[in-house]
Structure 1
């Protein structure tokens, strides 16, 4: 997913950033699961999904 506005010599770190965020979320979910159980992990996952969806809607409405 290359941004067309980036200069040609500039690397695109989008994939690396998404992988890094996924790995961090995995260990954070594991720690929350060990400390508090599965229900808070599911609630946290739903909240993160909600915020990502709202961000996507906002970014798509600004482009239109």
Structure 2
């Protein structure tokens, strides 16, 4: 069981703050910049996931020998 499951999300979690942020105050240009930044972060996360999956597969293949 994950610690977050027991304690719940941290109140200072940046993702939680990001999701609760009021978007009404942002201009179209600011919203577009935000989307671009978030898409970059998504790409970075996907690359990290891919690397982790490949690393694990390599380790499993090594230890199955």
Name the TM-score, length of structure 1 as normaliser. 0.54
Which residue of the other structure, out of 24, 34, 42, is the alignment partner of 2:35?
42
Could you tell me how far 1:38 is from its partner in structure 2? Answer: 1.1
How many equivalent residue pairs?
50
Instruction: Point out where structure 1 has 5 or more consecutive residues left out of the alignment.
Output: 3-10
Shift of 1:54: 0.2
Q: Which has the higher contact order (CA 8 A, sep 6+)?
A: 1
Q: Give the aligned partner of residue 46 of structure 2.
A: 53
Gaps of 5+ in 2: 58-65
The 4+ residue runs of structure 1 with deviation greater than 6 A are: none
